[in-house]
Homo-oligomer: A and B are copies of this chain.
Amino acid sequence: MVRLHFSVRLAYDVIDPAADFIFNIHAARTSCQRIVSERLAIGQDLVPLLDGDAAGNRLMRLRARQGPLQVEYEATVDIAHRAAAPDELIETPIAALPAGALIYLYPSRYCQSDKLCKLAFDTFGAVAPGYARVNAIQQWVQSQVAFRSGSSDGGTSALDTLAQRTGVCRDYAHLMIALCRALNMPARFVSGIDYGADPALGPTDFHAYVEVMLSGRWYVFDASGVSPPMGLLRIGTGRDAGDIAFATIFGRVSSWAPLIAIEAVEDGGRGFVAPAYCREALSTADC
């Protein structure tokens, strides 16, 4: 069992008389990820509207007045990973996929898998299907793309990254997802926070990682390879980054960079271990 504690601090200055925000910063609840405690503090005496969308993301809406707005959220989360032997995980035939997974077979705005069929087949067609093939895709993406802050922006897609070979976690995830879908594997984008990255990569930030459905269950992959999958905490799940921005803002607003912290609770007596690389495939989704 992994116990993680994280906090997110967001600061804005609303320029218009009022502005609406949709946040997706709450830790997700799944059968594997339990929220032990959480705390939310919002400036301007606002009462947030909290609810979930069809994909299970916990959304928070606010309508803020002109002036400064601060949002703080922190949570302690327990993650009980389902582990599987990689060798036993197979690519699920399309006829056997859960209906809810079909949408993740299709191309999306930033993951144009329909353009990558031949490349995916040429590069990974000879790899053994199943976990090994997904792993080969992850390794290829990690080896081909250089991590470079600021080398991409919100409009960068998997095709751009394939050409430019530089990006950040979000770009690695998009390219890996597009390649998986091109081989008819459902793959989706997860936003969250990672524990265990090399501090040399910079301060803790939101992270983006990947889930691929194998043997009827979603397994976690860190496309950029910067963190152990065991340390990936889920916030939002979607087809690509366009679905699950941590903040969507309607109105003129100045923004500051988010301040994020995460720590792992290590307490052998209570069964909490620090996230580490492991040989098993890990799943944290409801299915």
List residues of A whose CB falls within 8 A of some B CB. 20, 22, 49, 51-55, 59, 61-63, 93-95, 99-100, 102-103, 105-109, 112, 115-116, 118-119, 122, 144, 146, 159-160, 162-166, 184, 242-243, 245, 248, 250
Contacts and interface: CB of A to CB of B under 8 A. Distances in A.
A248 B186 CA distance: 14
A20 B250 CA distance: 42
A226 to B, nearest CB: 19
A287 B162 CA distance: 36
A250 B184 contact: yes
B59 A102 contact: yes
Find the residue from A95, A107, A250 having the highest chain B CB count within 10 A: A95
Given A61-B95, A115-B164, A116-B163, 5 more contacts: A49-B95, A53-B100, A106-B243, A119-B165, A162-B163
A108 B106 contact: no
Given A20-B94, A146-B118, A163-B162, A99 B52 contact: yes
A33 to B, nearest CB: 20
A3 B56 CA distance: 36
Given A106-B248, A163-B115, A165-B119, A54 B100 contact: yes
